[in-house]
């Protein structure tokens, strides 16, 4: 049991969350205490049982208890979790887990919709937005009863006001029929103005009255010819009410208001007020101006997920299948004259370039100016044409006219792709929604701003007193959520950024923003490494956010290895002592000071400096480089960067500074193209040069799962299982029974259980209950047929070998050097705790990445020289594991390979041979190389945000 005296504020055991007898996965009957309303960090080496205790025990039980309180109908819509293997959990409150997962794959979901900022913006624009006519630029207003009443009350005492509406005659009725209908409705008089009198807001004064009031009964007494003559000579109106201006009492106000309402109804939104027989004022309660009827702003008008608000052309996706601008103009640093328009090349097609240069040049178009420096108007001229000069659109219209020829079909397919919708300009909503503006900007323009610019815009926004009162609550919610995005280091994102393009770390921090916005209290928040993808500077902001979540009255449990976060925690639980069967225990608990004093805590030894990741005495001096010239993709500022070969090169910088763009999108794709390999992204740079002949293969080692099949596992991925199957097929009993290596595989028929197909279990869907994984009755979960399991080596059958951890297997197969050689790379990359047969679906992103690394280490000094690109390989790693990882990196370099690593971890940056630091800030303020050279020089670079944290 933990000693609660080590916590900053001694918790009351009766009030805290107590876990008793947890046995999930490798937990060894663990008893744990989580102080309520505190900021708690659970740390320990990879595989020590951190996630088993937090996610698989605490969260699973919290979710299960909540689900049990709901009806069976409601439960079928929830993610289903079984009861964790634990004696009991006391004091548990509602649990919310925020994991490192991209929570949505739909192309409709954006940062704005995930954080709910866009929902508040929709209401903000619906309540405060002003609709501006695209023709006159005037505000569109809808007049109501109060507007008419105000006009009447502003008149001078004694002024005569007449409220009238146009007299309308249906095509199939004569005048007498219409007059009879008016009489039946309760109207007694019609109003006649001299024919040709204009109906407008100007003062049409005359010396004598031009108006006549006629009783409808008198009109009906006339002959049809008399009435027809009268109507032709006058503009005819229905008289609704007559008013003499005075100091109106309450009854007068009610009567006039009723009359105005009746007039708007009878006039179908239009009425006129004549003042003293001279001034005719028009009132319209329809939302119209300049002959256009506009949609009144409502939240649905701004929703791209609603058919009413979504752009009808792209259906709210912002893109359509058309001519891809990036393919047509792959290098916008070139001018039209220098061949910036890719399809205008070749013996025949160059005519298009020549005619444009000749004709557009006469009209002052800058044909020698880089395309990315053209103004918006000039860019439109390039596409639409100018004068006699035919533009890019005309070129593709010509191509489409000749599609019966195969070469034109090939030409068109080369430049087709997803491109911005021309109707909504990529803003996703109907153009009517874009007429509504606040502070001169429509909702699409706000969503296209980086969050930090949006924050400045809201700070500078000036609203009228009325609008400020209406939007008071909305502005509070918007400003809070925007500030939280800034606090978690996501100020460089735009609200229109697609959710499925976010990294796991970014997605997790966005979920954190949503949780803070909800202002929940007395809840348990469990976060899985929220510092992933964060620079040390941004981690400080994240700590404040987590403390704010705690201060709202919540218990915040964070699975984390970051030193900064540990030192700020109220309470730390250190799992260990090692991984897998050697872990599953609580080694130490308390605050950072208590851990440092505890001799059993491996984490404490690293925090105190007793153990550390050593900085090499000598760094490799790079002799060979690859150079990217003029990288300009996204926020890159047309930079030249040199990447050293045969060394450990780390690319660092604050979140959003352009690291991933430079390495994963520009460099990786440029290398693939240079090696004539298929690539997704074309362009983004001017040229690639250098010692390309020293690289035979390029490998992107990401955190995607290592296999899609549930039977995929680490030992099969690194090709070590083949040697184990060969060994078992050579045993005496195997030879007697004619077993071949394939009989010891659970991926093909022969030796595997025919019932469960080598899975060891069968899945039974229980609808609104948790799915049940039943152990296979035929093989009892052992995956193979009984005859195969009877074959043993050193008293262990094939199933028992697959249940061993890597560390156990290396000791067990000590005499079989080929097997030890094959599986030892897993141990070298810090995966000694993983079972040989563990399903790849249960591996974390960081573990999957290290399994891939192990597969390359196992190949030894291959003749092919490879360039490895890693994106944050320290994800999920403890100090102790990082030490092992760096040894594996050095082993790859010694084999003649090259490594480029995108990383924030200062321990990795310190031991690099070469550092490229991006910055100085994020988004538009980043995209330049702040420093390039050995790590020692980075700490002296004042412009570098990274250098400040290296001392």
Summarize the confidence of residues 59-68 as an average pLDDT.
88
- Note the Cα 651 to chain centre separation in Å: 23
Q: 846 φ, ψ to 5°?
A: -65, -40
The three-state (H, E, C) secondary structure of 358-396, written as one string: HHHHHCCCCCCCEHHHCCHHHHHHHHHCECCECCHHHHH
Give the confidence band of 23 by pLDDT, cuts at 50, 70, 90.
very high
Cα separation, 361 vs 337, in Å, equals: 10
- Would you identify the CATH topology of the domain 145-286? Ribulose 1,5 Bisphosphate Carboxylase/Oxygenase (3.30.190)
**Residue 124 corresponds to which tokens in the numbers above?**
């903000």
Alpha helices for 803-878 (secondary structure H): 806-812, 817-828, 845-857
Lowest model confidence (mean pLDDT) among 162-176, 201-215, 818-832, 898-912: 201-215
Between 82 and 650, the higher pLDDT residue: 650
pLDDT at 10: 37
CB-count exposure of residue 742 (10 Å: 0-12, 13-18, 19+): middle
The answer on pLDDT for 183 being more than 80 is yes
* DSSP structure class, residue 310: B
- Neighbouring CB atoms inside 10 A of 435's CB total 20
| Backbone conformation region of residue 423, classed left if phi is above 0, alpha if psi is from -120 to 50, else beta | alpha
Q: Write out pLDDT tens, residues 96-132.
A: 988 766 556 678 899 999 999 999 999 999 999 999 9
| Confidence band of 2 (pLDDT split at 50, 70, 90) | very low
* pLDDT (mean) for 266-277: 89
Residue holding tokens 């009567």? 255
- The answer on pLDDT for 140 being more than 60 is yes
Q: How far is residue 142's CA from residue 283's CA, in Å, rounded to a whole number?
A: 9
Contact assessment for residue 295 and residue 301, using Cβ atoms and an 8 Å cutoff: yes
- Structure confidence at residue 681 (pLDDT): 67
Q: What is the CATH number of domain 615-706+844-951?
A: 3.40.50.300
| β pairing state of 571-576 and 39-44 | parallel
Q: Region 328-356: what's the mean pLDDT?
A: 91
Q: Cα separation of 920 and 927, whole Å?
A: 8
> How many Å apart are CA 480 and CA 223, to the nearest integer?
74
Whole-number pLDDT of residue 276: 87
Q: What is the DSSP string of 869-916?
A: EEE-TTTT--HHHHHHHHHHHHHHHHTT-EEEEE---HHHHHH-SEEE
Contact by Cβ (8 Å): 297, 304: no
More confident residue, 172 or 203: 172
For CATH 3.30.190.20, the residue range(s) in the chain are 145-286
Lowest mean pLDDT among 224-233, 750-759, 813-822, 889-898: 224-233
Cα→Cα distances 570→10, 27, 561, 600, Å: 11, 24, 15, 20
**Beta strands 928-933; 687-690: pairing state:** unpaired
Listed in order, the ranges of the chain carrying CATH 1.20.1580.10 are 111-126+440-500, 710-842
Which candidate, 575, 593, 595, places its Cα nearest to that of 585? Answer: 575
Model pLDDT for residues 316-325, shown as the tens digit of each residue: 999 888 888 8
Cα distance between residue 688 and residue 640, in whole Å: 10
pLDDT in tens, 837-894: 988 877 877 788 889 889 888 876 666 889 999 988 888 889 998 998 999 999 999 9
pLDDT of 197 above 70: no
E strand or H helix at 418, and its extent? strand 416-420
Name the CATH topology of 4-102+503-608.
Rossmann fold (3.40.50)
Look at phi and psi of residue 138 and say left if phi exceeds 0, alpha if psi is from -120 to 50, else beta: beta
- Average pLDDT for 674-701: 86
Work out the average pLDDT over 138-143: 90
Gap between the Cα atoms of 727 and 743, Å rounded: 12
Radius of gyration, alpha carbons of the chain: 37
What is the mean predicted confidence (pLDDT) over 259-280?
89
* % of the chain beyond a pLDDT of 90: 57
What is the predicted pLDDT for the residue at 559?
95
Q: What is the DSSP letter of 824?
A: H
Q: How far is CA 234 from CA 240, 299, 479, 548, 672, in A?
A: 18, 45, 59, 74, 82
CATH 3.40.50.300 in the chain, residues? Answer: 4-102+503-608, 615-706+844-951
8-32 burial code (b ≥16 CB/10 A, e <16): eeebeeeebbbbeebbbbbbeebeb
pLDDT value of position 78: 65
pLDDT at position 101? 63
**Is residue 444 within 8 Å of 438, Cβ to Cβ?**
no
Least confident of 260-274, 366-380, 397-411, 834-848: 834-848
Q: Between 491 and 702, name the one with better pLDDT.
A: 491
Residue 79 confidence (pLDDT)? 60
Tens of pLDDT, residues 443-482: 999 999 999 999 999 999 999 999 999 999 999 999 999 9
Q: Which CATH number fits domain 710-842: 3.30.9.100, 3.40.50.620, 3.30.110.30, 1.20.1580.10?
A: 1.20.1580.10
Q: What is the pLDDT of residue 208?
A: 42
Q: Give the CA-trace dihedral at 670, 672, 674, 678, to 10 degrees.
A: -120
Cβ atoms of 310 and 304 closer than 8 Å: yes
Contact 494, 111 (CB under 8 A): yes
pLDDT band at 639, cuts 50/70/90?
very high
What local confidence, expressed as pLDDT, does residue 4 receive?
35
Q: What is the dihedral of CA 483, 485, 488, 491, to 10 degrees?
A: -100
298: three-class secondary structure by DSSP = coil
Can you give the pLDDT at residue 514?
A: 83
Task: Give Cα 754 distance to the centre of its chain.
Answer: 44
645 by Cβ neighbours in 10 Å (0-12 / 13-18 / 19+) ranks as buried
User: Tens digits of per-residue pLDDT, 520-571?
Assistant: 889 999 998 888 888 888 888 899 999 999 999 999 999 999 999 999 999 9
At what angle are helices 817-828 and 845-857 packed, to 10 degrees? Answer: 140
Task: Give phi and psi for 233, each to the nearest 5.
Answer: -85, -10
| CATH class belonging to 111-126+440-500 | mainly alpha
pLDDT in the model for residue 766 = 62
Q: How far from the centroid of its chain's Cα atoms is residue 188's Cα? A: 65
Q: What is the mean pLDDT of residues 772-791?
A: 89
Nearest to 513, CA basis, from 533, 483, 557, 491: 483
CA 319-321-324 angle, to 5 degrees, is 85
Mean pLDDT, the chain, whole residue set:
88
- Model confidence, pTM: 0.77
Instruction: For residues 371 and 872, give the distance between their C-alpha atoms in angstroms, rounded to a whole number.
Output: 35
Using the predicted structure, report yes or no on whether residue 905 has a pLDDT greater than 70: yes
Contact, 292 vs 419, CB < 8 A? no
């Amino acid at each position: 049991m933990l000693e609660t005296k080590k916590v900053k504020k001694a918790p009351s055991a009766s009030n805290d969350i107590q876990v008793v007898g947890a046995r999930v996965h490798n937990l060894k009957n663990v008893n744990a205490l989580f102080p309520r309303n505190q900021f708690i960090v659970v740390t320990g080496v990879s595989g020590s049982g951190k996630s088993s205790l937090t996610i698989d025990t605490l969260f699973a039980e919290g979710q299960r208890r909540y689900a049990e309180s709901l009806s069976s109908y409601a439960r079928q819509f929830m993610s289903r979790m079984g009861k964790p293997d634990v004696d009991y959990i006391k004091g548990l409150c509602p649990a919310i887990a925020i994991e490192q997962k991209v929570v949505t794959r739909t192309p409709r979901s954006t940062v704005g919709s995930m954080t709910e900022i866009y929902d508040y913006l929709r209401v903000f624009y619906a309540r405060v937005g002003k609709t501006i006519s695209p023709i006159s630029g005037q505000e569109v207003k809808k007049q109501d009863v109060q507007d008419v009443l105000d006009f009447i009350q502003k008149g001078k005492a004694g002024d005569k006001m007449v409220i009238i509406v146009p007299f309308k005659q249906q095509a199939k009725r004569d005048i007498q029929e219409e007059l009879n209908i008016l009489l039946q409705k309760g109207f007694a008089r019609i109003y006649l103005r001299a024919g040709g009198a204009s109906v407008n807001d100007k003062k049409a004064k005359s010396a004598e009255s031009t108006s006549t009031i006629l009783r409808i009964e008198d009109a009906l007494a006339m002959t049809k010819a008399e009435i027809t003559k009268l109507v032709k000579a006058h503009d005819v109106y229905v008289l609704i009410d007559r008013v003499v201006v005075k100091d109106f009492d309450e009854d007068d106000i009610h009567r006039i208001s009723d009359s105005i309402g009746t007039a708007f109804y009878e006039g179908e939104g239009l009425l006129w007020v004549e003042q003293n027989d001279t001034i005719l004022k028009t009132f319209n309660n329809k939302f119209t101006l300049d002959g256009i009827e506009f949609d009144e702003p409502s939240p649905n008008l701004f929703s791209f997920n609603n058919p009413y608000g979504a752009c009808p052309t792209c259906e709210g996706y912002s893109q359509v299948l058309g001519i891809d601008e990036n393919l047509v103009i792959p290098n916008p640093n070139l001018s039209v004259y220098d061949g910036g328009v890719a399809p205008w090349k070749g013996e025949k097609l160059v005519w298009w370039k020549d005619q444009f240069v000749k004709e557009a040049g006469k009209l002052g178009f800058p044909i020698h100016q880089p395309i990315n420096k053209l103004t918006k108007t000039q860019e439109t001229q390039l596409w639409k044409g100018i004068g006699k000069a035919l533009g890019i659109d005309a070129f593709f219209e010509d191509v489409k006219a000749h599609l019966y020829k195969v070469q034109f079909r090939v030409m068109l397919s080369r430049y087709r792709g997803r491109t911005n919708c021309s109707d909504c300009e990529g803003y996703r909503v109907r153009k009517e929604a874009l007429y509504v503006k606040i502070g001169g900007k429509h909702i699409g323009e706000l969503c296209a701003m980086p969050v930090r610019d949006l924050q400045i815009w809201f700070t500078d926004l000036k609203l009228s007193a009325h609008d400020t009162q209406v939007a008071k609550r909305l502005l509070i919610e918007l400003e809070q959520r925007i500030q939280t995005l800034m606090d978690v280091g996501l100020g460089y994102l735009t609200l229109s950024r697609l959710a499925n393009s976010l990294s796991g770390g970014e997605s997790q921090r966005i979920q954190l923003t949503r949780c803070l916005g909800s202002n929940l209290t007395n809840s348990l928040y469990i976060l899985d490494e929220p510092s992933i993808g964060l620079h040390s500077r941004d981690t400080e902001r994240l700590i404040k956010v987590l403390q704010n979540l705690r201060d709202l009255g919540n218990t915040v449990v964070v699975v984390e290895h970051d030193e900064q976060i540990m030192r700020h925690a109220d309470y730390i639980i250190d799992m260990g002592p090692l991984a897998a069967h050697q872990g599953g225990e609580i080694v130490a608990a308390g605050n950072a000071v208590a851990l440092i004093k505890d001799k059993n805590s491996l984490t404490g030894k690293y925090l105190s400096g007793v153990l550390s990741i050593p900085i090499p005495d000598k760094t490799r001096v790079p002799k060979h480089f690859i150079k990217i010239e003029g990288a300009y993709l996204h926020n890159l500022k047309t930079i030249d960067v040199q990447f050293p070969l045969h060394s450990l090169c780390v690319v660092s910088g604050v979140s959003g500074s352009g690291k991933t763009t430079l390495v994963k999108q520009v460099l990786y794709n440029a290398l693939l193209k240079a090696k004539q390999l298929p690539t997704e992204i074309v362009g983004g740079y001017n040229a690639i040069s250098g010692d390309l002949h020293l690289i035979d293969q390029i490998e992107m080692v990401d955190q995607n799962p290592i296999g899609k099949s549930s039977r995929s596992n680490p030992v099969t991925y690194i090709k070590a299982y083949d040697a184990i199957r060969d060994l078992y097929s050579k045993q005496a009993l195997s030879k007697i029974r004619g077993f071949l290596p394939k009989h010891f595989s659970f991926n093909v028929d022969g030796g595997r259980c025919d019932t469960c197909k080598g899975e060891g279990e069968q899945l039974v869907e229980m609808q609104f209950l948790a799915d049940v994984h039943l152990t296979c009755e035929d093989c009892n979960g052992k995956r193979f047929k009984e005859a195969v399991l009877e074959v043993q080596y050193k008293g262990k059958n094939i199933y028992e070998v697959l249940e061993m951890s890597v560390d156990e297997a290396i000791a067990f197969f000590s005499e079989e050097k080929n097997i030890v050689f094959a599986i030892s790379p897993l141990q070298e990359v810090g995966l000694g705790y993983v079972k040989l047969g563990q399903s790849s679906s249960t591996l974390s992103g960081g573990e999957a990445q290290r399994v891939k690394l192990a597969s390359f280490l196992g190949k030894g000094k291959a003749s092919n020289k490879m360039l490895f690109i890693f994106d944050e390989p320290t994800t999920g790693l403890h100090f102790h594991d990082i030490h092992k990882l760096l040894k594996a990196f050095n082993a790859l370099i010694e084999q003649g390979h090259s490594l480029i690593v995108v990383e924030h971890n200062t321990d990795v940056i310190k031991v690099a041979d070469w550092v490229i630091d991006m910055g100085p800030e994020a988004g538009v303020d980043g995209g330049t190389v702040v420093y390039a050279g050995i790590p020692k020089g980075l700490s002296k670079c004042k412009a570098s945000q990274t250098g400040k944290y290296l001392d």
